[in-house]
Structure 1
């Protein structure tokens, strides 16, 4: 409606909470140059997100333009949502292939199966650790941290670390947990 001004900020309390990334930073700092190079070759500059300072006031200002029904920002009649290409550029992640059409497969593995594929851990191990957080399934960060520190395969440690950055930094939904949708993106 012409002349309408959102009053959402009058009725909404915004809490800008974020995951503590100190443990991820410590793991990164302990890795050898060879392991870091393996990470860079697979995931680009994704690790640099661990050092980005979040401007809480900016998030609070942007919240008045967020439309939860469409999961995008709305400025007047303009919807704003980053594209895959923009995410790829922002994250400097060469692994994402933007020139391929995305389609949902007829058979979509469950969250449990995706985690098993990413980590090579057993079904029993994940069944005991997957939690329900709100409307989605999640794996606690502390469980992924243990895998990063103890997994015998360096490539799997790197993959789990990248999954953790996606889940805790890029697309956080539940504090200290990596959500099911992140595994979809990662897979």
Structure 2
């Protein structure tokens, strides 16, 4: 790797104060029913973001390929991964374009199950966009919760999460874009669009404030980190820059079995990749680079046509990209096992060599220490599949328990004996799974490591 590093950029993140919003979770009577209706919003709301980790991660954003480029691998958030983390499916339509008309006070009142005159009285304009103050909505949610009016409370509470967490724009304000997206119940394409747009815009401008759903981006990234890096104590007091630069292709947790039957949204309409419209403008991303994250192999350098980039800011669209993107989402092209072959979650040498060359030419933002893999495994070939499948199943189950831990410990009333017993049982099951996982990994290593060494001699 070239010893010369590229300059790091100064980023900050919009992180609203969520204390009052989080306090409303005590009024959620049944978290599992809430999840069935609204997805994993409670888990996202409860997420505590490590801003130090995120400040380092964004330095790896590659504006040319719309991904995070590391010394020998790439990672990029996908529609399918965001849909799983949010717990809301992607509908076969674009959820938001910005071309929708502003909803009337009566329509908003009907959506929230409250009186129209109240909405009309508090509707205001900030930063050139209409919306409702969050303190008004929090007061309304509290009032309806105490009155046991569950429909009104849930509607207002969920809208607050959409406005302050999923689509933060103006502090203490829920704008009409968040209301529009909430009404469609199809937020995932817009969430991913805002993520890529903000990362790209700030990178091109040399830094600045990244405005997107930071808890979701954080949850996505740590889902790919090895357990020993993401969840264990940093006993060596190493900086995140050193810890991430030490990661290699073999350390990443690539694939979750929850995506086994998922059809990848590979392209839309005339575009060779996937166009995304966010609340600030439009951009596209390259699913072809993320196939390993969804279980399929990465064999070679992708065709340049599949990596063609488009980008525009809201109000600055001379090529009418917005209209073309809206039209493209009427024809979604998906791919699965039939088109991409069996799932084996590997990266072949031609692709890896291409990534190394990109990393060398683009330069890394930090010094590249001698790789110190967090988990010792063999090459990504068939002898290692036993370990990988075990990690998939274990991490899939552990992730569910981690989310329940978040909900139980951070959101539910601590006086509830039922939830205390449920939490204790889940914590014990989690500990037992981790211990069983470690034992099984040691057994599989002992069985396959000699074979892996023999294979190394063949390449």
Q: With structure 2 as the length reference, what TM-score do the two structures score?
A: 0.32
- What is the CA-CA distance between 1:184 and the residue it aligns to? 1.2
5+ long unaligned stretches in structure 1: 66-73
CA contact (8 A) 1:171 1:182 kept: yes
Q: Give the Cα separation in 1 of the matches to 2:95 and 2:49.
A: 33
- Distance in structure 1 (CA, Å) of the matches to 2:176 and 2:163: 9
Select 2:35's aligned residue among 40, 55, 59: 40
Instruction: Out of 76-85 and 46-55, give the one that drifted further.
Output: 76-85
Is the aligned partner of 1:57 residue 2:52? yes
Q: If you compute each CA radius of gyration, which structure gives the higher value, 1 or 2?
A: 2
Aligned-partner Cα distance in 2 for 1:46–1:143 = 21
CA contact (8 A) 1:166 1:182 kept: yes
Contact 1:111 1:183 survives alignment (8 Å): no
Q: Hey, what does 1:79 align to over in structure 2?
A: 66
Tell me which of 158, 165, 172 is aligned to 2:168.
172
Partner of 1:162: 158
User: 2:21 corresponds to which residue?
Assistant: 24
Q: Secondary structure at the match of 1:178?
A: strand
Aligned match of 1:70: none
Q: Distance in 1 between matches of 2:164 and 2:95?
A: 26
- Asked if structure 1 preserves the Cα contact closer than 8 Å seen for 2:112 and 2:156, the reply is yes
Q: How many angstroms apart in 2 are the aligned matches of 1:108 and 1:183?
A: 12
- Aligned length, in residue pairs: 167
Work out the CA distance in 1 between the residues paired with 2:48 and 2:32. Answer: 24
Tell me the distance in 1 between the aligned counterparts of 2:128 and 2:105: 16
Which residue pairs with 1:69 in the alignment? none
RMSD: 3.2
1:139 partner SS: strand
Deviation at 1:109, TM superposition (A): 5.2
- Give the superposition deviation at 1:145: 0.9
The change in CA–CA distance for 1:149 and 1:173 in structure 2 (over 3 A counts) is same
Matches within 5 A, 1:93-108: 93=88, 96=89, 98-102=90-94, 108=101
- Give the CA deviation at 1:16: 3.1
CA positional deviation for 1:178: 1.3
Pairwise CA distance, 1:62: 5.8
User: 2:130 aligned with 1:134, yes or no?
Assistant: no
Q: TM-score, normalised by structure 1?
A: 0.71
Structure 1 counterpart SS, 2:66: strand
Indicate if the aligned counterparts of 1:111 and 1:180 stay in contact, CA closer than 8 A.
no
Specify whether residues 180 and 46 from structure 1 end up closer, same or farther in structure 2 by C-alpha distance, changes over 3 A only: same
- Secondary structure, aligned partner of 1:18: coil
Distance in 1 of aligned mates of 2:181 and 2:126: 19
Q: Does 1:92 align with 2:92?
A: no
2:13 is paired with a residue of what secondary structure?
Answer: coil
- Counting only pairs closer than 5 Å after superposition, residues 103-122 of structure 1 correspond to structure 2 as 108=101, 110=103, 112-122=105-115
Q: Tell me if structure 2 keeps the 8 A contact 1:144–1:164.
A: yes
Q: For the structure 1 residues 6 and 170, does the alpha-carbon distance in structure 2 shift closer, same or farther, using more than 3 Å as the test?
A: farther
